[in-house]
Structure 1
């Protein structure tokens, strides 16, 4: 549960930062206007992050307790789920983002994620990696 809260906070921070960066008018706004905009952006980002983190459909979950093992060359919704979760944890799957194709950039993201969680960094997303992607294990 704590991992989910950390993930939610991280996603909200990224979304709020993007919302603030997208508004050049804030650079010359008064401190009160900027504070109000920041509060609004943070609230909106938090709500969006809650939807992303709490709604399994947002990452293509197939409701399987543990999805099938996937590796480079795989395609489909299970790959999309893995890519979405990798991105939520801060690991880029490439410029096309979530596309359902397990290519070399998804392999690299999976290896980096696995290394960060002290898993075997082979780029194959099996039961242990799925557990960490979904539940946020730290070691």
Structure 2
């Protein structure tokens, strides 16, 4: 598996041979239709973790809290406890994305969380 350093060196070389003045220009020259990678916090790396809701605990809830933080909806602790603050953040997130709120984080919400646009 190539190291991050070798990947960066290859990108810099490609930028220079492509006629771009600096390696940084290569990073800004990406096509507009390229989507950013899905968000993963590392607590639960499955694309669609199991459904969670009020009273749930564990790594899937930590992943939820972290993703809600990354998407700018949650400012509480990433403690793995689906509490009131987590539910309030979830309600706002689902409402903004047109996902019916039922208190449960199911497949549709996980996909939206993994692909939220952060400014």
TM bracket, shorter-chain basis: 0.5 to 0.7
**Which residue is 2:52 aligned to?**
70
Q: What are structure 2's unaligned runs of at least 5 residues?
A: 1-36
The answer as to whether partners of 2:38 and 2:115 remain within 8 angstroms in 1 is no
**Which residue is 2:97 aligned to?**
117
- Cα deviations across residues 100-128 of structure 1 (Å, max 9, x unaligned)? 10011101110110001010122211000
**Which residue is 1:86 aligned to?**
68
- Cα deviations across residues 12-45 of structure 1 (Å, max 9, x unaligned)? xxxxxxxxxxxxxxxxxxxxxxxxxxxxxxxxxx
Q: Using the alignment, how far apart are the partners of 1:54 and 1:86 within structure 2?
A: 13
* Aligned residue-pair number: 81
**Match runs of 1:1-139 below 5 Å:** 56=40, 59-94=41-76, 97-136=77-116
Q: What are structure 1's unaligned runs of at least 5 residues?
A: 1-52
Question: How far apart are 1:62 and its partner, in Å?
Answer: 2.5
The structure that is helix-richer by fraction is 1
* TM-score of the two chains, using structure 2 as the length reference: 0.61
Q: Using the alignment, how far apart are the partners of 1:55 and 1:92 within structure 2?
A: 15
Q: Report the structure number with the largest CA radius of gyration.
A: 2
- Cα deviations across residues 54-80 of structure 1 (Å, max 9, x unaligned)? 783xx2342323100000101111100
Over the residues paired in the alignment, what is the CA RMSD in angstroms? Answer: 2.1
Question: How far apart are 1:98 and its partner, in Å?
Answer: 0.6
